[in-house]
């Protein structure tokens, strides 16, 4: 229970939180904008990590490798999107099917269950070795923070365009969207692709950070993503109203999540129980708005007639 061991661990936790925050932004796009809980992410996170690491091991530049990871994630999103729209399978089940299939795909990409990359031999962008005692511009926290800001700016721009607005309309009211001539199937597929692209990019960063890609690295990712979205909203929803800031709140939510997790680990919890704890915490947070509505709301007339 040495307080210094906690303090020493916090920067690493923050860096991890930032990296997972990019994945959580991807989850935000499907969960909040599209109103779908997309379970593809548990698989596409690993796909991103696997593609990024294998590309780098083959001698590709780190940026090229990350772009490839993004592309691979988009492909995974495309599959889920087509299962959902073209084949008419419910969104949750589509995600589960893709996730299951990706397990094999990820194994084939890596050739085995785990592929390590040596931080001394390859030009990694981020690493747990780049947290302390490195020039500030190489510091992983700064690098990932910059990438996050750039991504948020791009997403902020995109969701303000005609195309981006049509995606938001689809998630909000698909009946209205179709009446306004929006191809809602296309919107769904595109949003799933963007979301999983971000998730895979996050996976690529995570694999570099930990120094390996692992077949299990995405397990429970959707829960972490949802936790970040919910924490971000709970803490910042009163002050962040702008769309870009809402995305930033998701990233902050993820950081908070990892800092809290670090404290919990430092307190000496049996780490075998962590996933159970995660699931329980997210379940309770998901239930809170429902409970508020059911037990604590004032009896006002529902509907919106004037």
Partner 1 sequence: MLEVKNISKTFNPGTVNEKQALKGLSLTLRDGDFVTVIGGNGAGKSTMLNAIAGTWKVDEGQILIDGVDVTKYPEHKRAVFLGRVFQDPMNGTAATMGIEENLALALRRGDKRTLRIGINKEERKLYRDMLAKLGLGLENRLTSKVGLLSGGQRQALTLLMATLKKPKLLLLDEHTAALDPKTAAKVLETTESIVNQDRLTTLMITHNMRDAIHIGNRLIMMNNGRIIYDVSGEEKAKLTVEDLMHKFAEASGEEFANDRMMLAR
Which segment (70-78, 170-178, 194-202, 276-284) binds partner 1 by CB under 8 A?
Answer: 170-178
Q: Does 192 bind partner 1 (CB under 8 A)?
A: no
3-state SS assignment for residue 213: strand
Q: How far is the CB of 248 from partner 1 (least distance, A)?
A: 19
CB atoms within 10 A of CB 114: 13
Residue 185 or 278 having the CB closest to partner 1: 185
Measured CA to CA in angstroms, residue 194 lies from 33, 80, 88, 118, 271 at distances of: 12, 12, 20, 30, 33
Least distance to partner 1 from the beta carbon of 91, Å? Answer: 19
Identify the three-state secondary structure at position 75. helix
Per DSSP, 130 falls in state G
> Please, what is the minimum distance in Å from the beta carbon of residue 232 to partner 1?
17
Residue 289 interacting with partner 1 (CB under 8 A): no
* Nearer of residues 51 and 229 to partner 1, judged by Cβ: 229
Residues 140-169 that bind partner 1 (CB under 8 A): 158, 160-166, 168-169
Strand-pairing partners, residue 116, are 212
Contact 243, 159 (CB under 8 A): yes
Residues 195-254 that bind partner 1 (CB under 8 A): none
99 binds partner 1 (CB under 8 A): no
Contact region with partner 1 (CB under 8 A), list: 71-79, 103-111, 128-136, 179-187: 179-187
Which of 176, 276, 280, 288 binds partner 1 (CB under 8 A)? It is 176
CB contact set of 243 (below 8 Å; sequence gap of 6+): 156, 159, 160
Closest CA to 7 of 210, 254, 268, 259: 259
Residues making contact with partner 1 (CB under 8 A)? 158, 160-166, 168-169, 172-173, 175-184, 303-306
């Amino acid at each position: 229970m040495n307080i210094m061991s906690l303090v020493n661990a916090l920067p690493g936790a923050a860096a991890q939180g930032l990296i997972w925050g990019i994945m959580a932004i991807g989850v935000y796009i499907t969960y909040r904008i599209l109103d779908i809980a997309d379970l593809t992410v548990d698989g596409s996170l690993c796909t991103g990590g696997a593609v990024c690491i294998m590309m780098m091991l083959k001698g590709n530049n780190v940026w090229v490798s990350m772009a490839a990871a993004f592309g691979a994630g988009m492909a995974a999103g495309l599959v889920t999107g087509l299962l959902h729209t073209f084949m008419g399978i419910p969104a949750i089940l589509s995600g589960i099917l893709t996730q299951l299939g990706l397990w094999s795909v990820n194994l084939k990409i890596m050739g085995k269950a785990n592929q390590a990359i040596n931080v001394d031999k390859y030009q990694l962008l981020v690493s747990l070795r780049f947290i302390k005692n490195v020039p500030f511009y190489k510091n992983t926290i700064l690098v990932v923070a910059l990438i996050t800001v750039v991504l948020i700016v791009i997403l902020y721009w995109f969701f303000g365009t005609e195309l981006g607005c049509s995606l938001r309309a689809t998630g909000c009211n698909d009946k209205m969207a179709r009446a306004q001539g929006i191809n809602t199937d296309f919107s769904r597929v595109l949003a799933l692709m963007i979301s999983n692209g971000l998730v895979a990019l996050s996976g690529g960063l995570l694999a570099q950070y930990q120094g390996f890609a692992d077949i299990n690295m995405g397990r429970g990712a959707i829960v972490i993503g949802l936790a970040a979205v919910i924490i971000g909203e709970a803490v910042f929803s009163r002050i962040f109203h702008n769309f870009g800031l809402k995305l930033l709140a998701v990233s902050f939510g993820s950081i908070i999540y990892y800092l809290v997790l670090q404290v919990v680990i430092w307190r000496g919890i049996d780490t075998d129980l962590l996933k159970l704890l995660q699931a329980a915490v997210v379940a309770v947070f998901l239930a809170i708005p429902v409970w508020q509505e059911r037990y604590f709301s004032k009896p006002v007339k529902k509907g919106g007639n004037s």
